[in-house]
Each structure stands twice: as C-alpha cells, then as structure tokens.
Structure 1
Amino acid sequence: MKDFVTVGLIQPVIDPDTSWGTGAPYSLNISPISAERVWQEIQIGFTEMIKLDNRPEVILIPELHLPPSQLAIIKEYSKRYKIIVICGIDFQRNPKDAKRVRNRGAICLPNGIATRERAIRITSLQFGKTFFTYMERSMFKQGIEKAEEHFPDPEQYMYVFESSELGNFGVMICSDIFDIERIMLYQGRIHHLFIISLNKDLNTYFAMAESLTRLLYCNVVICNTGQYGGSMAVSPYSDVNSRTIYKYIGQRMFNTHVINIPLSSLEDAQLFDFAKENKKDILFKASPPGYQKYPPSNQLINATKKTS
C-alpha cells in the first residue's frame, strides 16, 4: 500500500446556464463548438500531467464535461498511460426509453496500475447519478430538442472499488453527496471518496466535504467545473492546517492540478482502536463514534444496489 496516492484534477469550463441552451427546447448535449473547446482542455490536462515526474495514478474530470463521442479516446489514454480515469459524461438517453435522460460518469481501470508499462487490458464501466438537481428536472420538463417533456433516469447502483496498491474508493456525482444511504454504505469501506460535479453552491459542498471526511473517515476529493472553481481535497488530519490539501476558487478559468492524498497512514488510523490505545503516533483525528472498518471483499468491484 502506497504512502500517498497522486490525483490529477482537470477542470474545463462549462457554463450550465447557456451550454445546453437558454430556454426550451434544450439540447441533449452542449453545442459542438463548446464540446470541442472542452475536449481540447481535457486533452491539454492529460498532456500536462503525463509529463510530470509524479504522474497521477487517478485523474478526475467533472460531471457532464466529456463529450460521449470521446469516451473511447479516454479509455485509450487510461490504458496507454496506466491511469485510473473518472470522468463525467454529457447527458445520454436511456436506450430503451428515449425520453429518459441519464447523467453518468465513467471509470476506466487499467491492469497493473503500479507499473509504468502499457496496460494489457482495461476494465471500464459507467455509473449513474441517483438524485437529479431541480435545474436538471426543470430543463427536462421544458423539453429536449423537439420540445417534448423528458424525465430523469436515476440509477441505483453504488460501487466500492478495491485496490491493495491505491486503497479502496467510492465515487459520486454531484448532488448524490447528500444521499444518506450512500454515506452509510461507504463508511468503513473506503480510503478515498471521489466526487465529480457541476455545481454553483460552492460553500455547501465545501462544508459537505469537511463533514464527510470526518463521518466516512477518509479522503474526500471534489472535482468541479472551472466555470465556478470549487474543487477541493480534504483529509481527517488532526492538524487543522494539514486538513485542507487543496482548495480552488476562481471563476471561468480552465485549471489543472496534481495533489497527493494520504493512504498508508490513513489505513493505520482506520485500524486503530482509539478507545483503548494512545494516539500519539496517529496523524489523524479520532474515528467517528461507531466507526467500523470492514475487511476487503477480495473482488475487483463490489457493487451494492439500493433497495429504495
């Protein structure tokens, strides 16, 4: 298990107030010109990061930013450079019901992540948003393309990804950060929570990140659009000056950044019995009341479906 995991954040600029149109009928996807610009910014981010000595092991791209047509290239980047990529894909229709719209992310997992040789194979899957915002629901209600009412297509699966090298992690899309069931599932099972978002309410998400790093007792990394800034990485360090690893505020600015988040020392803290032992050598605050560390399932992907 590594001491630190290196995470890259690519933050292109998308203005949600105009990118899908300014009134009904809205477009399912952002305009071709905007999509091309955003794709160029994503490529610039990859180009900058793969040249670094501390090349990221994980790269995050915000919610709804990746043009669906470019997903195959992202998979190739992941395989070629041995980087886990978690990216938000622009809206997609449910293939069985064209009036139901999905908000999805994709995760690409190359084999042999600990080495720098080209991966032989890659595992890729898409995960969906469960709780759509009122802005998305309003947009769908007013009509997509042919001015017909559309509907959110919430997806109920939640995932825990397990890695003996990089630690276990969970993923969320934007407003699912408020999903209590998801929080209950992740507590005691993950070292990192990666959240991709397209969000204006920065202060609420900053507060949620601070809360979740204590409740889940893990690293929390939010990758938001460069339109608003608002990306953040926090860890439950005892030292308040160390707790915020990264925080970016700045409007309408394309930005990339590479950060290191703790792993082996956090694992020690997650396994530590704060009720019985002296924590002088532990760098982190005490785990929350009732915290229980669950053993790994020894599966690549452990999927849990919500019952509600």
Structure 2
Amino acid sequence: MLNEHLYVGVVQTSLKAEAAWFDDGSSNWKNSVRMSRLEELRAKREIRHFLASLKGRNPSPDIILLPELAVPIGFEEQLKRAAEKLEVIIIAGLDYRIETAAPEPTVSNEALVIVPRRLNGVPISRQTQVRRVGKTHPAPAEKDKLLKIADASVSFRPHPTVWIFESDQLGKFGVAICYDFMDLDRIVMYRNKVQTLFILAYNRDTTSFDHMAEALSRTLFCNVVVCNCGQFGGSLAVSPFREPFRRLIYRQSGQKLTHAQVVKLPLSSLFDQQKNGNNTDFKSRPPGFDDLVSLNSKTAKI
C-alpha cells in the first residue's frame, strides 16, 4: 500500500572538483579521472558522518540522496551495508568509472540505486538489490575537461537508458544525473509514469535548475528533488500544490555549505490526483496528461 508521504534525506557533500580531479603530472590519465587520495578520504569520512546523522531521525528517511560524483569508487560495499543497516534506499552519484574494455581512454558517469532487503522494518526482498543508472549527456564543460586530461583526450561513454523504479510503499520514481535533467526526450518519457523525479547534480547553474524543477513539477505533475553538491548549493524539492507557498518544500541556497536534511513529500494524495484529478490541494493536471492527443505537424513557408 502506498505511503501517505515520502521522506527523503538530501545530503550536500563538500566535494570540490579542482581538488578532486586534476592532472597529477604522472602522465597517467587514469589518475586524473579518479578523486585524489586526500579528497577520497575526506569524502568517505563526510558520507559516514551524514549517514550517521540521519540514523534515528523521526521521521526516518525512506530514501537518501548523495550528489553526482560524490562517492569514491571502492566505497560501494560500505554504502550497501549502510543501506541495509538504516533500512533505506540510497541513491548516490559515483566517481567516474573507467571503461577498461574501451579501445581508447573512456569514462562513464553513474549513480547507484541500492535497495535493501528491509525497508523501514518491512521485508521487501530476499537480498539487497543494486542498480546502476548511467548519465547519457555530459555537460559541455565536463566533456571539455575530460578531453584535456593528461593530454589523453578522455572520451565519455553515454548510457542512453531511462530508469523508472517501482515500490508498493514509495510509488514510482525516476533517477537522472545532472545535465540529463535538460533532455526533453528523457523528460517526456517520465510523463504520467512517476510520482517523484530525483536529480543528482554537480551543477553551477543552480538558478536554471530551480526553474526547471518548478516547471517540470507541473508539466510532469510529480515531486521533483534536486540533490546538488555543497560547493554550489541549490538543492531543492518542489511539488505541484495549488497554493504557491506550498510548492517549494525545501531549498538549500548558498555555496560551500555541507548539509543534510530530511524533507516530507506528498505521495498517496499526489498519486490520487494523477489518477483522478479531483484533489483540490493540487494544481490541475496539465493538458494531455490523462488522454494523450496526437498533434499534427504542419509547416508553412511565408
């Protein structure tokens, strides 16, 4: 049975790109696409601290988010054990993955979705499940930086897949990484399919993501949660409530701020509005949400 509310732990870590990924002078490109040793140790310590701070919270989170690129490679097993201990789903951005099978220097950008055997005390599966959600489109600055690493011209491997996860208790949710948030083809595929859309980001342009989240919350008619890095801030959560003051549920503004917060999102009532359209707490559903109309394309030369 669908929960009345969805509780999401949003974590902003202090990861700084200039300190984490740089040409170390070794002429080995692989050293430049992995976090520096110092930043890796700091990231692990910080993640442990924030996960511990969310333990025992009342209400406890159903899902915990960590930003794009926030988790060092090799920390995955610790995250898996943390999800099992906390009995929450963890959705976390991984450091760049080196594609060893590629004929030329290549990396991919992925997020882990860890679903434990028990969710808030309720058994849901025989064993913990782990899925990887890949990024399809690198941001232009990200692509340029990879091409210039250690004179190796590191390529980016896209993952052109749209993931939707389904839970009896937590509804349906989508997960996308940073620049994919701007991909309209991807966004259309979430239409009338999810109650919540999660975005993991390492994003400077926080204002644009604010506007995108607000707009897509109405056009997709779902909760939208952005988990950005603490270096730039701008994490937020919005829902398509009718009253304007209720729509912005959470926002963390300001740069260079580490932060963890549990936010409360509507779930069963939002699902009811998506299905029936008669809940006055929410905005009206967008045109074509229920009965999709195929539009005819016409071009006229003038």
Normalising by structure 1, what TM-score? 0.88
2:251 to 235, 247, 250: 247
Bigger shift: 58-67 or 107-116? 107-116
Give 1:130's aligned amino acid. T
Q: Is the 8 A contact 1:160 1:168 kept in 2?
A: yes
1:155 to 152, 155, 159: 159
Percent of residue pairs identical: 31
Describe the SS at the equivalent of 1:211.
Answer: helix
Q: Is the 8 A contact 1:167 1:191 kept in 2?
A: yes
Report what 1:77 is aligned to: 82
1:142 to 123, 128, 148: 148
Q: CA deviation at 1:116?
A: 5.8
Q: CA deviation at 1:50?
A: 1.1
- C-alpha change, 1:120 and 1:76, in structure 2 (3 Å) is farther
Root-mean-square deviation over aligned CA pairs: 2.0
Matched residues in 2 for 1:174 and 1:4: separation? 25
Report what 2:72 is aligned to: 67
Gaps of 5+ in 1: 274-278, 295-308
1:86 maps onto 2:91 in alignment = yes
Q: Is the 8 A contact 2:22 2:33 kept in 1?
A: no
Bigger shift: 66-75 or 19-28? 19-28
1:11 maps onto 2:12 in alignment = yes
Matched residues in 2 for 1:249 and 1:7: separation? 18
Report what 1:299 is aligned to: none
Matched residues in 2 for 1:18 and 1:81: separation? 31
1:28 maps onto 2:33 in alignment = yes
Give 1:189's aligned amino acid. K
Matched residues in 1 for 2:57 and 2:191: separation? 33
Report what 1:181 is aligned to: 185
Describe the SS at the equivalent of 1:37.
Answer: helix
Q: Is the 8 A contact 1:82 1:117 kept in 2?
A: no
- C-alpha change, 1:271 and 1:257, in structure 2 (3 Å) is same
Q: Is the 8 A contact 2:221 2:240 kept in 1?
A: yes
Report what 1:298 is aligned to: none
Report what 1:58 is aligned to: 63
Report what 1:284 is aligned to: 282
Report what 2:298 is aligned to: none
Matched residues in 1 for 2:185 and 2:118: separation? 32
Bigger shift: 189-198 or 120-129? 120-129
Report what 1:238 is aligned to: 242
Gaps of 5+ in 2: 293-302
Equivalent pairs, count? 286
Report what 1:205 is aligned to: 209
Matched residues in 1 for 2:229 and 2:163: separation? 23
Matched residues in 1 for 2:117 and 2:241: separation? 31
Q: CA deviation at 1:239?
A: 0.8
Report what 2:128 is aligned to: 122
Q: CA deviation at 1:292?
A: 2.8
Deviations 1:251-298 (A, max 9, x none): 11211111111001101110124xxxxx4x42100111000389xxxx
Matched residues in 1 for 2:66 and 2:120: separation? 22
- C-alpha change, 1:95 and 1:292, in structure 2 (3 Å) is farther
Q: Is the 8 A contact 1:82 1:119 kept in 2?
A: no
